[in-house]
Amino acid sequence: MRLFRTGSLKKHLLIYLLCSSVLIWGTAMALCYKQARSEIYQLFSAELEQYAQILQVIVESMIVSDSGMTHWDQDSATSLLESFNSRHDYQSGIAFQIWSPKNELLFRSENAPKSKLSLEPNGFSMNLIENEAWHVFSSNQRKKYIIHVAQPKANLDRISQQISLQLVLIFLAGVPFLAIAIWLVLKRAFDPFNSLISKLHRRAAGNLKPLSEDAFPKEIKPVVKELNYLFKELEVAFEHERNFTSVASHELRTPLTGLLTQIQVSIKAEDEQMRNRALKKAHEAAIKMKHMIEQLLVLSRIQNNKQDMTTVPVNVSEEIELVIKDCKKQITQKNTTVYYNNVEPVYLNGNLSLVNILIRNIIENAIKYSANENSVIKIRCGQNEDGVFFTVEDNGPGIRKSEVDKINQHFFRSQKTITHAEGTGLGLSIVHRVVDLHQAQVNLKKSKIGGLYFKVIFPEKTPKPKSKTRSRSKKKKLAKA
Amino acid sequence: MRLLLVEDDEYIGDGLQAGLTLEKYAVDWVTNGNLANEALKMNQYEIIILDINLPGMNGIEVLKSLRKRKDHTPVLMLTAQDRPEEKVKGLDAGADDYVVKPFDLNEIYARLRALYRRHGSGSAKLPFIEHKGIKLEPASHKVYFQDKLIELPQKEFEILSFMMNHIGQVCSKARLEETLYSWNSEVESNTVEVHIHHLRKKLNSSLIRTIRGVGYIID
């Protein structure tokens, strides 16, 4: 059924249906023809027999009632027979001969040959006389007169052919009607397809509402179902895209405004000192913007990659140390004291680069919001009955409960897409996404040392890896990828 | 002209302060809503630039509390959202105009001038103020007296501009000083008297009337 894969399904169906109908119908016709022939043959045989009997009765009775042949007016009988000049299509051209017991030909019809139609005195026979085949019935009931009634075989054939031809002609005339009927039925059967196509065609590019499945027959419902599923997936993808664009444009707007303003000030500045100061600020703003763009790229990379998230046992304590090392610049700039209880390695099953991003964002945030004077952050990690936990606290100046609530809200919105709480920054959006991808939990409260207490719990109990170096070597590969 | 700038972003705040100082505004810059609220209670400003998204009290709260105190100082709102809801929220809370980030410094200048013009009591809604043969154009910082351009130093222009915007009202010495100096600048004593003296000399001497013990008035 390779044919059905390309081209017009309707055309193929029409051709196949028509061919098979013609084939079946044709076979039935051939059988009919054969049957008809045999029926016609029997019909004529019966006719011959009947003729013969009638003739026999007449001849025998005449001879019995009036002895001898005196009353037999052969000439008038011949002329009378000739006057029955019927012209019918199915006239079988029946001929007869009456032979006397003395083997004399008493009487014959005009179309009968002069020689004996059959040598048989009784029953059916097929004889070739003067190059013409005859179908003969002979009757010799009282062993006196022999009556032969015959019919040319050609006639028999002609009539049966005529009848069969009529059948074939009707059949041939029927084929175009059959084709039209099939075509109409197919057209109707394909209506749901057309309706689906026109529904899809009329659809605006942005319309991803599901199609109603009720409007379609059982065979098309799975297609519609699959389409609806696809629509839903697309909707989610678009939603991600839209959210991302909105977050990106909003987040970039602030540093861009700072940059533009500083550049305009530097253009308008009246003295060198002012210009230099504005340019320095513009440079700083540009660096801030660069950092933000990097964060956005991370966010866009992780927002939709559930399927290709490879997990490995990650050594959390090692990652924390690495992040602290990477944040050296910020730590020295702010003169931050970092407390970290470097205990035994703690492992969790996760995506190494994502866990690193999560730890980095939380620690960077803590450094950023810690107090300007005597800045302190406290980092801990470990394992308890809830799973692997990681906490960061800062001594930022009195974070208000409403602000803790705001960050909390950001995390507890159920939608699995990037969300954005005003003023919470990209870092939190990234942390949120990574937490979601790992099915981890976040616990936020006001820290005892003043600022925010940020706890991430990875609920699973994770096995220790076979070799300790495995996680780091893997990270390099991931980072390249 | 004294202006309060409320903006938490370091670079935007700093840039606006520098840019507005170039336009001869006396700019006080605060970085959170609570400080803004305090500053507004303590001082009288000619105009306020207010960011909506602020740590502490947000811009809308600051604005509502300002209007509750029956303070009608014109407010130019800054917003990073170009969604209509945000603008509607700000305008309904009592803002007079808004600018969406990122903006052009020149647009800020023009909007401030337009706001000030609309709120001045003199010949409002015109891009200049004309009174008793004196024509003052805030955009170009030019003053004409009987169609002749008069050169005025910045501070004299500020005082004249303030008084022309409050025609028929007595302006106290302290109020005039406030328009001239932001928190960071040193106020010299006698300066207001000196500037008034110069203005009387350069323009019609009977233009500015002294009301003893209270201040000055342009009738």
Query: How many Å from the N-terminal Cα to the C-terminal Cα in chain A?
Result: 45
Q: Do B16 and A261 touch (CB under 8 A)?
A: yes
* Chain A residue at shortest CA distance from B8: A254
Interface residue of A245, A247, A257 to substitute, partner B, most B CBs within 10 Å: A257
- The pLDDT of residue A408 is 63
Full domain range(s) for residue A244? 221-296
Could you tell me if A319 and A247 lie in one domain?
A: no
Considering only CB atoms, A255 lies closest to which of B11, B16, B53, namely B11
Distance CA(A216)–CA(A224), nearest Å, equals: 8
Tokens 């540009």 belong to which residue? A286
pLDDT at A398 over 80: no
Could you tell me if A112 and A243 lie in one domain?
A: no
Query: Is A360 strand, coil or helix?
Result: helix
Establish if A245 belongs to a structural domain: yes
Beta strand ranges found along A373-475 (DSSP E):
376-384, 387-394, 441-446, 452-458
Query: Is A388 strand, coil or helix?
Result: strand
B167 touches chain A (CB under 8 A): no
What structural domains does chain B harbor? 2-119 (3.40.50.2300), 129-218 (1.10.10.10)
Whether ipTM > 0.90 holds is: no
Could you tell me if A288 and A329 lie in one domain?
A: no
pLDDT category at A4 given cuts 50, 70, 90 is low
Q: Do B53 and A285 touch (CB under 8 A)?
A: no
CB within 8 Å of chain A, chain B residues 1-30: 9-12, 14-16, 18-19, 22
Establish if A201 belongs to a structural domain: no
| Bridge partner list, A129 | A132
**Cα-flanking dihedrals φ and ψ of residue B58, to 5°?**
-85, 170
Q: By CB neighbour count within 10 A (0-12 exposed, 13-18 middle, 19+ buried), where does A87 fall?
A: exposed
Alpha-carbon torsion (A196, A202, A206, A209), positive or negative: negative
The mean-pLDDT minimum among A369-378, A403-412, A469-478 falls in A469-478
Establish if A154 belongs to a structural domain: yes
What mean pLDDT comes out for the span A61-83? 64
Q: Do B105 and A262 touch (CB under 8 A)?
A: no
A285 touches chain B (CB under 8 A): yes
Tokens 């009202």 belong to which residue? B169
Distances (CA, A) of B127 to A230, A387, B162: 59, 69, 15
Establish if A392 belongs to a structural domain: yes
Could you tell me if A258 and A386 lie in one domain?
A: no
Could you tell me if A43 and A145 lie in one domain?
A: yes
* Chain A residue at shortest CA distance from B12: A258
pLDDT at B108 over 60: yes
* Chain A residue at shortest CA distance from B10: A258
pLDDT at B121 over 60: no
DSSP track, A303-325:
TT-GGG---EEEEHHHHHHHHHH
How many domains are there within chain A? 3
What mean pLDDT comes out for the span B36-49? 90
Provide the number of CB pairs (under 8 Å) joining chain A to chain B: 74
pLDDT at A477 over 80: no
pLDDT digits (tens, 9 = 90+) for A250-296: 778 888 999 999 999 999 998 999 999 999 999 988 988 888 888 77
Establish if A35 belongs to a structural domain: yes
The CATH number covering residue A132 comes to 3.30.450.20
A278 touches chain B (CB under 8 A): yes
Contacts with B57 from chain A: Cβ below 8 Å: none
C-alpha atoms less than 13 angstroms from C-alpha of A208 in its C-beta half-sphere: 12
Interface residue of B11, B32, B53, B108 to substitute, partner A, most A CBs within 10 Å: B11
Residue type present at position A85: N
- The pLDDT of residue A291 is 80
Contacts with A254 from chain B: Cβ below 8 Å: 9, 12, 80, 101
Distance CA(A158)–CA(A169), nearest Å, equals: 16
- The pLDDT of residue A89 is 59
pLDDT digits (tens, 9 = 90+) for A114-160: 888 888 888 888 888 888 889 899 988 777 788 899 988 888 888 87
Establish if A331 belongs to a structural domain: yes
Q: By CB neighbour count within 10 A (0-12 exposed, 13-18 middle, 19+ buried), where does B12 fall?
A: buried
Work out the percent of chain A whose per-residue pLDDT is above 90. 11
**Cα-flanking dihedrals φ and ψ of residue B27, to 5°?**
-105, 125
Establish if A256 belongs to a structural domain: yes
Query: Is B48 strand, coil or helix?
Result: strand
